[in-house]
Chain A
Amino acid sequence: DAKTTQPPSMDCAEGRAANLPCNHSTISGNEYVYWYRQIHSQGPQYIIHGLKNNETNEMASLIITEDRKSSTLILPHATLRDTAVYYCIVRVEAAGNKLTFGGGTRVLVKP
């Protein structure tokens, strides 16, 4: 799996948009970008994933650059409950392909 690079931590003001960057410069053409988050003392939770088009769901938006070498997860209106570690992962979407986690970004949403 391609390696990803994320900032170790970032702060965000409650109610504002949180933009979480991820670099994946060695991503292969068939690898998807996945985002998971892990709230303290819980298991990782799926947020969103995409191949090359921008994606949006009820939790977040995913913006992937045209060359696919980086992406940004956007939490449109951060709440205190969004405080968590956010992991950016790239993987081929196929049965059995494991998730390879890096260090993630520790996001602290402040009131």
Chain B
Amino acid sequence: DAGVTQSPTHLIKTRGQQVTLRCSPKSGHDTVSWYQQALGQGPQFIFQYYEEEERQRGNFPDRFSGHQFPNYSSELNVNALLLGDSALYLCASSLSQGYYGYTFGSGTRLTVV
């Protein structure tokens, strides 16, 4: 049973560019959340998707957007990249009913130069 899969694992982008990160949730999970983790800090909640809609959002600018597909997979898009966007981006999946724990992927390491 595959867990949460994220791609790519590493990425280097230039300031001002746009990036798309991808996430496939754990089998059977229907909710996807995204987190940003700067070096040495705990993960910070970006937003959550359920039924292809953004259900919750953390304190992140509109440059951060997302999408969820009918198969529950998700994308995180970041526009106009800043140096400060360099971080580990984590995807976590969960169930909308029943057990409410989260399963995390290993993340995508984004470096903005």
Q: Which residues of A contact B (CB under 8 A)?
A: 34, 41-46, 49, 85, 87, 93-104
Give the shortest distance, in Å, between B47 (CB) and chain A (any CB): 9
Q: How large is the interface on B (under 10, 10 to 19, 20 to 34, 35 or more residues)?
A: 20 to 34
Given contacts A46-B102, A94-B100, contact A102 B42 (CB under 8 A): yes
- Is B104 in contact with chain A by the CB < 8 A criterion? yes
Going nearest first, the 5 A-B pairs with the smallest beta carbon separation are: A43-B104, A101-B42, A98-B45, A95-B96, A101-B43
Contact with A along B68-88 (1 / 0, CB 8 A): 000000000000000000000
Task: Beyond A46-B103, A98-B48, list 11 extra A-B contacts (CB 8 Å).
Answer: A34-B101, A42-B107, A43-B92, A43-B104, A44-B104, A46-B101, A94-B100, A95-B97, A98-B33, A101-B35, A101-B42
